[in-house]
Homo-oligomer: A and B are copies of this chain.
């Protein structure tokens, strides 16, 4: 494949990151067939901060929208939030989170990301989680990036039904959860 010129590459890189902020430098380097250093220089010239910084910036814009809990109590970084509708959060998994025998991330970290995001999207001041039905579809490894998406599917009789889906950074679904929260007053 012929390499793109620097101008072409930077233009496309900017467009890609506007559509999806979550490309890593590694992914971009392999996509454009250039070194990671080149991508870093591109970002520097274009004034685009590194991925971790981009995630943090997005999270800071969303955390004050949360109604049902304190925003900082969410496990993971809150990327998108439309209260009463949907939310997206990102959790970076680490070696500390794994079972030592399997090197697989403990289920309750994934559960905590899902449950706290599900709670964050609810349009009510105080809720309690009543029922959850969850499924782990694929083992979660450390040093992965879990992208959770929560959607409010129904609200009836002060019960909020929320579905959560979590994909890993390779776009493989690792978790799905169906939650019912009860409003309390």
Q: Which residues of A line the B interface, CB within 8 A?
A: 68-70, 73, 75, 99-102, 104, 106-108, 111-112, 115-116, 125-126, 128-136, 139, 184
Counting every copy of the chain, the complex holds 2
> Closest Cβ of chain B: how far from A51's Cβ, in Å?
26
CA distance A20 to B139 in the complex (A): 39
Q: Does A131 contact B135, Cβ atoms closer than 8 Å?
A: yes
Does more than half of chain A's interface fall in helix, strand or loop, or is it mixed? mixed
Q: Does A134 contact B135, Cβ atoms closer than 8 Å?
A: no
Return chain B residues, CB-CB under 8 Å to A68. Answer: 101
Q: Does A108 contact B112, Cβ atoms closer than 8 Å?
A: yes
Q: Does A108 contact B73, Cβ atoms closer than 8 Å?
A: no
